[in-house]
Amino acid sequence: MRLIVKDLDLTSGDVLIAVLNYHDAKKLDVRPKDRIEISFKGKKLVAVADISGKEKPVSAGQIGLFEEILSRFGISDHGTGIVEVKAVGKPESVGYIREKLFGKRLNYKKLYAIINDIVENRLEESEITYFVSAGFAHGFTEEETFYLTKAMVETGHKLSFPKPVFDLHSIGGVPGNRTTMVVVPIVAAAGLTIPKTASRAITSPSGTSDTMEVLARVDLTAKEMERTVRKTKGCIVWGGAMDLAPADDKIIKVEHPLSIDAEGQMLASVMAKKASVGANYLLTEIPIGPTAKCRNKKEAGRLEKKFISLAKRLGIKNRVIITDGSQPVGRGIGPVLEARDVMWVLKNNERAPSDLRERSLLMAGILLEMAGRKNGHKIAIEMLKSGRAYEKMQEIIRYQGRQPEMAVGTFTHAVHADKNGKVKKIDNSRVAKLAKIAGAPDDKGAGVYLEKKVGAAVKKGEKLFTIYAENKVELDTAVEEAKRNNIYHI
């Protein structure tokens, strides 16, 4: 059926959507959510159909197209054209998702079909959600995880930098763990190439990209990233902006409201990004603790083996370190507060959190030794103490694009100790929840600043932590949460 294009001047976000008039839909035997193939000047796209029951917004003989389809066809704003439309069945990948829902193992062909359809926007968000849920419920075998990783790499853009290329990753789950933003400038200052792509927060009050965005642009294109790395040796950017393993970021969008991060998906997510930037050497951190993603050494050891095995199949030399995840790293929790901690470390400021500094130096030293440098830890300390790491960070910020200075939230509330004693425990999950209730990461200046860490002696009335928010409503909500669930155990 030939139909006249109508520009609806709307965006769908990801999924390709087209609107048919009720009469035309009936002739095509198309119902809402069915797929239709649209052809224009030799190009073909599969879109999800929506149905208009009246002459507005789409009349009989017309097809209303969202901006994503108009852009792919090269039809200018408010432009018109005539397209050929026919009904098609659901993508085969929907059937493969159904197989996974029933616990079946999927081969490379099936997983590639799912990932490719996610990238090409052929699947609705609900269908992607079913795939994520199936992976969470049934898990992925090592073979499936490798296939998933490979499919993510093959359906995205791949970068190439002069070898060797270094990278690092923490599996997360520990608030304030912004070691990446200290390690990258240290090792780049020492001459290593380290093109770091990072994710935004899924279940945390801030991801590395959310925190780096306080200082610099993170939504670089692949060309901008390559230029930054050529000039500075390093970068800290959001992988979702440059088509590197693009399915990963679409899956993360689905994971976010569900607050889940399935192990197989997490492994594939991490390693696909590393393979996409051409990494030869990788340092992976697995924090363990009662509220971290890995609760004990046994779980961490099992995950370590999986990381090393998957990396080997991808041609990456991966070293894994297991660290203390029993309490937050640093003192600031939330984008601006974390960025402030990072810059204090790089400036050798007396207010710099010692745990963030020492963990960053440990990781930077290991990466330098993986590059064949003797006394890597000593070199890392020199890069930091001399100011070369800070200068390198400023250079990276300049090439990525400096952001206007952002401040902590102006609405604050301090929580004080109700007795004398010693800090026995800080609950990671409650800290993260409190910072999110205060507005992080969407409100960059929101979060929690910890005055005391585990082992510190406290006196009654002494300040334990401060809540920051950008409006009074969120501050009041966070204060009520702090009263219900104390994050400190004294």
Position 257 pLDDT exceeds 80: no
pLDDT tens across 32-85, in order? Answer: 989 999 999 999 988 989 998 777 789 999 999 998 899 888 887 565 789 999
Query: For 424-442, what is the mean pLDDT?
Result: 96
**Which of the 8 DSSP states describes residue 124?**
-
Domains in the chain and their CATH numbers?
A: 2-88 (2.40.40.20), 92-139 (1.20.970.10), 166-400 (3.40.1030.10), 411-489 (3.90.1170.30)
Query: For 278-300, what is the mean pLDDT?
Result: 92
Query: For 116-134, what is the mean pLDDT?
Result: 89
Position 422 pLDDT exceeds 90: yes
- Higher pLDDT pick, 10 / 268: 268
Please indicate whether residue 261 is annotated as part of the active site.
Answer: yes
Would you state the pLDDT for residue 20?
A: 95
Listed as own residue / partner, the contacts of 310-313 with beta carbons closer than 8 Å and 24 or more positions apart are: 310/142, 310/145, 310/146, 310/149, 310/267, 310/271, 311/271, 311/274, 311/282, 313/146
187: closest CA among 373, 41, 334, 400?
373
What is the value of pTM for the model shown?
0.85
| Per annotation, catalytic residue among 34, 50, 261, 341 | 261
pLDDT tens across 211-252, in order? Answer: 999 999 999 998 999 999 999 999 999 987 788 888 887 887
pLDDT band at 259 (very low <50, low <70, confident <90, very high): low
Would you state the pLDDT for residue 53?
A: 79
Would you state the pLDDT for residue 95?
A: 96
Contact 219, 401 (CB under 8 A): no
Q: Which helix (H) or strand (E) holds 134?
A: helix 125-138
Mean pLDDT computed over every residue of the chain: 93
Lowest mean pLDDT among 233-242, 392-401, 465-474: 233-242
Q: Which two tokens stand for residue 309?
A: 């095995």
Q: What angle do CA 373, 378, 384 make, to 5 degrees?
A: 110
Would you state the pLDDT for residue 78?
A: 60
Phi/psi for 43 (5° steps) reads -95, 145
Position 255 pLDDT exceeds 90: no
Position 187 pLDDT exceeds 90: yes
3-state class of 7 per DSSP? strand
